[in-house]
Amino acid sequence: MSSNWNLSVLYTDPKSKILAKDFESFEQESKAFLKWCEENFKESQNAGQKLEQYLNKLDNLSKFETIKAYIYLNLAVDTTSAEFARLNSKNEKISVLAKQVKNQLVLFLKKVDDLEVLIQNSALLQNYAFFLKEAKEKADKLLNANEEYILAKMSLNGSKLWSKQWQQITSTLNVEYKNENLTLSEIRNLASDASSAVRKEAYLSELKAYEKIDIASSFCINGIKGEVIELCELKGYQSPLEMTLKEARLDKEVFEAMMGAIKQSLPQLQEYFIKKAEFLGHKNGLPFYDLFAPITKNSQEYSYGDATKLVYEHFSRFSQKMGDFAKKSFDEEWIDVYPRKGKVGGAFCYPIQSVKQSRILLNYSGSIDNVFTIGHELGHGYHNYCLNTENYLNTEYSMPIAETASTLCENIIVQAALENASNDEERLNILEKDLSRSLQCIVDIYSRFLFEDGLFKKRAEGFVSKEELCAMMLDAQKQAYGKGLDENFLHPYMWVCKTHYYNASYNYYNFPYAYGTLFSKALFERYLKEGQEFVAKYDAMLAYTGKASLYEVGNFVGVNLKDKNFWLSSLELIIKDIKAYQEAKI
């Protein structure tokens, strides 16, 4: 079993004739499709027939998804590759045409007054009813075709280029540590080292290293956020948050209920950090470098092979379908496992629905946290797998529900680890890791939301300096963590190392983690009560996520997401674990 992912199902070589031919076909078919739209979407006569033809053509164009996937995945493990950087630029230029094809549909639907009737009279349109209605809802926020084309072209040398620069400078950053040069991923992995001295020195080395790239990173984040602000103004959104909620299929009432519940619960959630500080001998709250510190001597290391066996076994207990999916992912080498120079940090799952597969990036170092991460990323992959029965155009889901699927699978591994713990010390260690991850997704995510929301408002007034960015991050951490963190040891550069701030297409990619954590907690509680009866409903819910709003997905499983009490009940599950944590002895 290779530790590098296998991309041969896409292409075998960047110079392959098949890839070159697909590039040519992608460009030709995109141009021909765009011309068809311009000719056929002038008038709304025979709208039903035109929409059917359009959907068939768009579904066919999806086969070229393999080009983007191949390039993106290769750049993820080698951001310094000039060859793939050139291919990426070439693909982005063609993708601008494909984006205009989608915009043409939205502009055409502006002219269609009887969409509901057309859908009722066509089996094909019924299958894509949500896709069409969602496109029509976007009509009021879309500029004309020429303006949209110009914006898309300009972004190639604007936000997309800023994003590439940030990826390159962070993935190649040398962090000086004990006369060694480590990658950012390697130094951040030391945050969970058993030695307090190692953790603190790694933290200080990390902060010192950011000084080499903080000015460049500040220009990247200003460029990206500035473009988003201008785009929102042009399209008539009141704020980037309004645009993000719309794109996430998230009702404002749902968002406010969730965030209100989190804010209300912060004092109880902060008790975890206060207790952990006590465990580790700190008096003024937890220093940032000890956020991920082990609190017991039980810091079992897991080889990657052992981790895959554990995940397969317990996924299979949830359902054989899920276990078989995990085995397929391992056996067919869908996962890139270990950190290396030039590879992006963190972890992600990339869906390739045109070939009904996914690819998963890890930076595995052997901790129980890393095992949980395998479960988390495979959860994304399983979500994609459950959508394989859907037509391609019904497989796109929003970020909050994506983080629900991943976190539920993570919960499966956590529960299994707790059940298999051989003693109280090991059980406490697992509980500590679970709480740490959950509260990263709620408390730390809340701080990141506060930072980004403040950044958008301040960026609208002008350029935000690196000093201001650091001050804003510190303030956000103080608001979210309260007395839980030692104010003398916070992390002013968290805005540099988090990839979610550096993509103009994915703003506020922070609250989806809070959503996923809390929604999945409620779903997992249902599973513990209902067992296998729940599993079939869960799989059906995942298959439904590409053609429904988040509120509708909640209704599908009998949950009112606009009710603040629902979110408070999920938070109470975490608070219950915090109370058990507070009562534990070391």
Q: Of residues 564 and 300, which shows the higher confidence score?
A: 564
174 Cβ contact partners less than 8 Å away, ≥ 6 residues apart: 181, 182, 183, 209
| Residue for token pair 């991460």 | 373
Q: What is the mean pLDDT of residues 233-254?
A: 96
Q: Looking at the predicted structure, is the pLDDT value of residue 346 above 90?
A: no
pLDDT, position 146: 85
Q: Are strands 357-361 and 175-177 parallel, antiparallel or unpaired?
A: unpaired
Tell me, what's the pLDDT at 185?
Answer: 86
pLDDT of 381 strictly over 80:
yes
Q: Exposed e or buried b for every residue in 63-101, given b needs 16+ CB within 10 A?
A: ebbbbbbbbebbbbbbbebeebbebbeebbebbbbbbbb
Mean pLDDT lowest among 205-214, 314-323, 415-424: 415-424
**pLDDT for 299:** 66
pLDDT tens digits for range 62-91: 999 999 999 999 999 999 999 999 999 999
Report the residue count for the chain: 586
Binned at pLDDT 50, 70 and 90, residue 254 comes out as: very high
Report whether 95 contacts 156 (CB < 8 A). no
Q: How confident is the model at residue 298, as a pLDDT?
A: 64
Neighbours of 462 (CB within 10 A): 9
Kindly state the average pLDDT of the residues 304-319.
96
Which strand (E) or helix (H) includes residue 181? strand 180-182
**Helix axes 399-420 and 424-439, enclosed angle (nearest 10):** 170
- Measure the CA–CA gap between 80 and 85, rounded to whole angstroms: 8
pLDDT tens per residue across span 165-191: 999 999 899 999 998 999 898 899 899
In this structure, the strands spanning 335-336 and 357-361 are parallel
| Alpha helices by DSSP H, 62-144 | 65-77, 82-109, 115-120, 123-127, 129-137
Q: For the chain, give the mean pLDDT.
A: 95
